Structure 1
């Protein structure tokens, strides 16, 4: 019978800290490395459920590693190696407090706001007369910033720069990377007969350079 790994308590050589998240346990090694363990814990609506799911951590970790490898020629990322199906070792980065959401279609929360009369989303003007699930002429980037409390908040490029969340150069680099990742992801989905409607990417800084972390 399959077993689950829901808790870890490692003490690696050079370990300086450990963080137990809702799903992942993250161990800091020295000043520059992280060991991330994708456990079998399940989180739903910010609640960790009492039982895990066998192999869930392996599936989650290996999907992430596969996607990082598939796009490494387009965008630099944090991954160094996967020494175990549930573990990724990578570079420690300073996370940027901006999630880069990119949408290829008018769906989900964007459609709900559009239906309510909104014609501008995160500084991006939307054309009149669109219908639910209609494809945008070009994918649009609608970032959100992490709120101190409550849900993430929509934000425009100009607002993000004005608030000092990112510099103009950082935002433009993230936007270019986001478009390249979405194009690659859409091509990979199409090969399987699927449509990539929208997704989000998270970035960080390492040695002052923007790299993909999630």
Structure 2
């Protein structure tokens, strides 16, 4: 399977390189970032040993399309996409918080609710809710990267300001942008027969002090979607919702005895299973964007990316 797992490009004026769970990020002259979306798959903060064909292309193209569909309301870092797997944008200083916004009580919020908690990140959750019920208003539940390890940690608005992680003036803008993006994302999803359940946004500050949206947006890796058709009927019957996210990978891992805990062994991903995950991601792309997915040429994916990026940087 021709996938891109590792990258070791050396572009002109390259200052540094950063390897994330899924992306490889190259700093060009302290002015631009070249972000390569690899085919790595991560779940429970663990990167799977095999790449998923076309996953990087899918995430990059969804994020690009969603940034184009929201740039009239929130400025973003993106300058160009010279390759199906690559985004190039303005170098920013990232804020150390992720702006998580939830329209429905699902995932982490539902798990906390089941434990009897009625306040999440300083925000009250109403009594008498069922899992996957809609909140009266979307709630913002920020997360911050832990000092140790990769796990995100819940944090309240009050603690963010008290600890000086973000200034009050900047945080007001982050909240405003988050609500505007979620509203637009909800409208886009509704047009595709979907419900945008929850998502996260990341922001950075440019050298001239502007706050812009960075990283991915409204992808199946950063967001949870439900199918709108039959949503209410499933809620009324107490059934699980039909989901559109990478939750299906987590469920497969759980059913094979893996949740990223110490002493657990990653299950073997057969080529047939890897192929099925790839097909599922293509289905996600088409459902979320309303477009037919066009597979890029992956016969020599490293050379293709390098050639396209070099041509752009010239």
TM-score (norm. length: structure 1): 0.93
Aligned partner of 1:174 in structure 2 is 174
Aligned partner of 1:156 in structure 2 is 156
What CA RMSD, in Å, does the superposition of the two structures yield over aligned residues?
Answer: 1.6
Alpha-carbon displacement from aligned partner over 1:102-125 (angstroms, at most 9, x marks no partner)? 111122221222233222221212
Alpha-carbon displacement from aligned partner over 1:123-170 (angstroms, at most 9, x marks no partner)? 212222222222111111111111112532211111100001001111
Name which of structure 1's ranges 163-172 and 3-12 shifts more when overlaid on structure 2.
3-12
- Structure 1 regions of 5+ residues with no counterpart? none
Aligned partner of 1:55 in structure 2 is 54
1:184 Cα offset (Å): 0.7
Q: Secondary structure of 2:5's partner?
A: coil
Q: Secondary structure of 1:195's partner?
A: strand
1:122, 1:45 → 2: CA distance? 21
Counterparts of 1:1-214 in structure 2, within 5 Å, are: 3-150=2-149, 151-206=151-206, 207-214=208-215
Name which of structure 1's ranges 70-79 and 41-50 shifts more when overlaid on structure 2.
41-50
Q: How many residues align?
A: 213
The 1:6/1:130 distance shift into structure 2, 3 A limit, reads closer
Name which of structure 1's ranges 152-161 and 108-117 shifts more when overlaid on structure 2.
108-117
Q: Secondary structure of 2:95's partner?
A: strand
1:114, 1:7 → 2: CA distance? 39
The 1:60/1:120 distance shift into structure 2, 3 A limit, reads same
- Structure 2 regions of 5+ residues with no counterpart? 216-314
2:120, 2:41 → 1: CA distance? 32
The 1:47/1:132 distance shift into structure 2, 3 A limit, reads closer
The 1:123/1:44 distance shift into structure 2, 3 A limit, reads closer
2:82, 2:204 → 1: CA distance? 23
1:127, 1:48 → 2: CA distance? 36
Kindly indicate which of the two structures has a greater share of residues assigned to strand: 1
The 1:164/1:62 distance shift into structure 2, 3 A limit, reads same
Q: Secondary structure of 2:96's partner?
A: strand
1:80 Cα offset (Å): 0.3
